[in-house]
């Protein structure tokens, strides 16, 4: 079966606001509340919790304090889980595109470097988890993106054939994962990192989810 696999953060949903809020819980404990800005730092937020902690500690002159990052990372995850869908929104047309692909016979799945528990919790809170045949996270397997086995196993769990798949994402990690797996990547041009994704030379860039079905047809039939 042909399979379309989606990244989550920055691809299906703008999760940056809730991620920034969770990171700021950690910085408040350090005496520096609201250190990260939900707009200006959105791109860093979509690179994950450790990236946000590194950025904030750098602003405090402690960029090399890896022990502080390790100490606060569990607190960040706890704060994020407690308020995971306060500011998060699905990108316009995302679920309509997913539903159309499913109706046309494609299997659809999520492959994210977010911990699986948090990814499932978020999709449940957004009411869309059941739209996907499979979901794998950073800790589902012994490997994670950009290792191609993360993508391939996601496809298998969705009932698909890894060689007849593609990955929709928003970063170099997604592009590299698809390339290592020998399948096409489609990057979205509407997230915080959207202005630079064309420079990554994916097989396609979309400016809105309305464009996805035609791109998928062209790339994997």
- Catalytic (active-site) positions: 7
Number of C-beta neighbours around residue 90 at 10 A: 18
How far does CA 202 lie from the centroid of its chain? 17
Q: How far apart are CA 80 and CA 70, in angstroms?
A: 16
Sequence-ordered list of residues with C-beta below 8 angstroms from that of 163, at least 6 positions apart, any chain? 182, 183
Number of C-beta neighbours around residue 162 at 10 A: 18
Q: How far apart are CA 188 and CA 153, in angstroms?
A: 23
Show the tokens assigned to 27. 């910085």
Q: How far apart are CA 148 and CA 176, in angstroms?
A: 8
Contact 178, 219 (CB under 8 A): no
Angle value at C-alpha 50, between 82 and 70, nearest 5 degrees: 90
């Amino acid at each position: 079966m042909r399979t379309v696999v989606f990244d989550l953060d920055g691809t299906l949903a703008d999760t940056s606001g809730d991620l920034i809020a969770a990171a700021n819980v950690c910085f408040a404990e350090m005496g520096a509340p609201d250190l990260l800005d939900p707009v200006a730092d959105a791109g860093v937020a979509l690179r994950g919790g450790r990236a946000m902690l590194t950025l904030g500690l750098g602003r405090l002159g402690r960029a090399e304090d890896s022990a502080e990052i390790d100490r606060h990372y569990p607190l960040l995850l706890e704060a994020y889980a407690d308020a995971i869908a306060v500011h998060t929104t699905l990108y316009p047309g995302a679920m309509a595109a997913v539903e159309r692909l499913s109706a046309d016979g494609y299997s659809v799945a999520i492959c994210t470097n977010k911990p699986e528990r948090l990814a499932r919790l978020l999709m449940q809170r957004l009411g869309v988890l059941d739209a996907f045949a499979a979901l794998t996270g950073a800790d589902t397997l012994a490997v994670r993106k950009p290792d191609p086995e993360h993508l391939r196993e996601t496809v298998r769990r969705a009932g698909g054939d890894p060689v007849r798949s593609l990955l929709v994402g928003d970063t170099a990690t997604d592009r590299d994962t698809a390339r290592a797996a020998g399948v096409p990547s489609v990057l979205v041009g509407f997230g915080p990192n959207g202005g630079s994704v064309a420079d990554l030379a994916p097989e396609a860039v979309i400016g809105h989810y309305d464009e996805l079905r035609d791109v998928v047809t062209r790339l994997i039939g």
